[in-house]
Amino acid sequence: MSDKKRKYKTFNTAGLCFPEKHYMVDPLPRLEDVETLIDEELYFTIHAPRQTGKTTYLYALARKLNAGGKHIALVVSFERAGYRSITVDKANETLIDCVYRAADIQLPEKYRPQNPKKTQYIDLKEYLETWAKSQKKPSVLFIDEIDALFDDVLISILRQLRDGYQGRPGHFPASIVLVGLRDIREYKAVIRDGMPSLGTASPFNVKSDSLFLTDFSKKEVFQLLDLHGEATGQVFSNAVKEKIYRLSGGQPWLTNALARQIVMKLLKYDFSKEITLELVARAKEQLIQRRDTHLDSLVDKLKEERVKRIVQAIINGDNIAYDILDDDIAYLRDLGIVSRSDPLKFANSIYAEIIPRIMAYTIQASLPMEIQTPWFVKESGVLDMEKLLKEFQEFYRRNSEAWLERYTFKESAHHLLLMAFLQRVVNNSGEIIREMAVGNGRIDILIRFGKQEFALELKIQRHSYTVEDGKKQLSRYLDGLGLEEGYLVIFDPGDKEWEEKLYFEEIEYQGKKITMVGL
């Protein structure tokens, strides 16, 4: 197997992609008009969530520009100066060194800036001026991790870049591109305690455009996976490619991570074996359970109050509260947690699964030992959904008051309690698919267990028309799935007695069999 690992390229999940080592689709088509902006000697920003291929894109573009012969293009990361205790003077010294070291690696000697050890420079602006004046061709500087800088350092660097703008191209880089997680308008820098952040009065107000690096398109996901088949003969079938795209939503790290998990971890580079849908499901589950850095950093954001409020609104299907600002929604979109389209929902199916699972984990881990898969599976191997939901009703009646009182995510606790219960039972032998979006007033859940499919709709009793709306919505959901029966679960947070809240009854509605489950 070691020979195969050395011979073939791999799916990369760690940092910069190298064409000679990794499967790659051409990153340059992912952004339009970038080369036009550079030709026009403009300053602009590129932003995207972590591990979406920003750095890979920058290096590919810099290589193309340098090969074209019209520009001197350099990619430099400012992350080394990204800590709060650094002074402005020390930051300038550090960043000058970053530029020089990057140029030493990426550029021929005649195009590099001077070694800063030979001359004392006032600041980064003076160093970039000296470099630009020493070259006959215009320089293009891609500054990665710009939003790693803090406070006075960020203010100082942005002002220096703005001050140098008038001198381009002969006395300053002709085009500067700031690259990070967020658009420049979102950079936060507090000048003094109690002072507002940058807000709209950005010291980088010379920027012409703000570009967002999108996820892979469906076509790009298919192209990436096909590269492995062309190299090894081990083909990702169309059905498998469709499932990987559905799960990842084209998010580059997730796409590569699923493919890598299948090829490397599950099949151990045995290219004679078939890649099946069951392997994709196993790979997804292992990624979620392993919680690599990408997923762990996503989950860590749930601790932030503005993230928690929007996430809970999505899970509940509630409308966004009036006091949640556009900036908060933009923040979650820039982090890649939620979709960039409306209605607001989680960015992909894996996020839609892992976020509620993590939010419900403390509940799931504390459920009684007897709540296990075998207890709810008949001798024939089929899942007894009626028994499962009735058992949850009894558990909910006995435990919900204590659970809901101490739970961190109180606004979505009802739904998460049921999802934890379902996850404990279904996890080992089936799959739970969740559909959630702001403002739809419900959660749609599809449980696949062997050849069985169960559709559930979860709603909270808020109005007199909640139940009737739930029937209509579930009926449409069943039509979309091609199913004839489903379960409408109604949580009633009111002050009624349990005897009134708890019911389990079957009705016929629009030709569908609906089991009403009251809680």
Residue range 73-91, pLDDT digits in tens: 999 999 999 999 999 999 9
pLDDT for position 89: 96
Residue 302 near residue 359, CB atoms below 8 Å = yes
Q: How many helices (H) and strands (E) does the chain have?
A: 19, 11
Residue range 288-300, pLDDT digits in tens: 888 777 777 877 8
Question: Going by DSSP bridges, is the β-strand pair 43-47/207-212 parallel, antiparallel, or unpaired?
Answer: parallel
Residue range 387-411, pLDDT digits in tens: 999 999 998 898 888 777 766 676 7
- Is the preceding omega at residue 169 within 30 degrees of 0, hence cis? yes
Q: Among 98, 138, 96, which Cα is nearest to 120's? A: 96
How high does pLDDT run on average in the chain? 89
Non-local (6+) Cβ contacts of 208 within 8 A are 37, 42, 43, 44
pLDDT for position 496: 86
Is the predicted pLDDT of residue 192 greater than 80, yes or no?
Answer: no
pLDDT for position 2: 47
pLDDT band at 273 (very low <50, low <70, confident <90, very high): very high
pLDDT for position 50: 85
Task: Output DSSP code: residue 519.
Answer: -
Reading the block at residue 152, the tokens are 């006075």
Between the alpha carbon of residue 220 and those of residues 216, 236, 260, 366, the distances in Å are: 6, 14, 16, 42
Q: What are the φ and ψ backbone dihedral angles of 46, each rounded to 5 degrees?
A: -125, 130
Residue range 94-130, pLDDT digits in tens: 999 999 999 999 999 999 999 999 899 999 999 999 9
3-state per-residue secondary structure call for 239-302? HHHHHHHHHHCCCHHHHHHHHHHHHHHHCCCCCCCCCCHHHHHHHHHHHHHHCCHHHHHHHHHH
Reading the block at residue 496, the tokens are 């009624």
Residue range 456-484, pLDDT digits in tens: 999 988 888 899 999 999 999 999 999 99
Between the alpha carbon of residue 70 and those of residues 27, 66, 137, 483, the distances in Å are: 21, 7, 6, 61
Residue range 131-151, pLDDT digits in tens: 999 999 999 999 999 989 998
Q: pTM (2 decimals)? A: 0.87
Q: Among 43, 39, 44, which Cα is nearest to 137's? A: 39
Longest dimension (CA), the chain: 84
Q: What is the mean pLDDT of residues 365-374?
A: 82
Place of tokens 């009134």: 500
Which residues are paired to 486 by β-bridges?
514
Q: What is the mean pLDDT of residues 266-270?
A: 96
| C-alpha–C-alpha distance, residues 282 and 275, integer Å | 11
Q: Among 453, 390, 395, which Cα is nearest to 420's? A: 395
Of residues 172 and 308, more confidently modeled:
172
- Give the torsion sign (CA, 393, 399, 405, 410): negative
Q: What are the φ and ψ backbone dihedral angles of 175, each rounded to 5 degrees?
A: -140, 135
Helices (H), 427-484: 466-481
DSSP letters of 294-335? HHHHHHHGGGSHHHHHHHHHHHHTPPPPTTS-HHHHHHHHHH
> For the purposes of burial, counting CB atoms within 10 Å of the CB of 261, is it exposed (0-12), middle (13-18) or buried (19 or more)?
buried
pLDDT band at 191 (very low <50, low <70, confident <90, very high): very low
| C-alpha–C-alpha distance, residues 309 and 318, integer Å | 11
249: Cα separation from own chain's centroid:
9
Question: Going by DSSP bridges, is the β-strand pair 430-436/443-449 parallel, antiparallel, or unpaired?
Answer: antiparallel
Residue range 43-70, pLDDT digits in tens: 999 999 888 999 999 999 999 999 999 9
Element (H, E) at 72: strand 72-77
Q: What is the mean pLDDT of residues 9-34?
A: 92
Is the predicted pLDDT of residue 1 greater than 70, yes or no?
Answer: no
Is the predicted pLDDT of residue 285 greater than 50, yes or no?
Answer: yes
Which residues are paired to 161 by β-bridges?
none
Place of tokens 């996890």: 427
Residue 227 near residue 23, CB atoms below 8 Å = yes
Place of tokens 């979309």: 480
Is the predicted pLDDT of residue 386 greater than 50, yes or no?
Answer: yes
Non-local (6+) Cβ contacts of 479 within 8 A are none
Q: Among 458, 369, 464, which Cα is nearest to 414's? A: 458
Reading the block at residue 505, the tokens are 């009854």
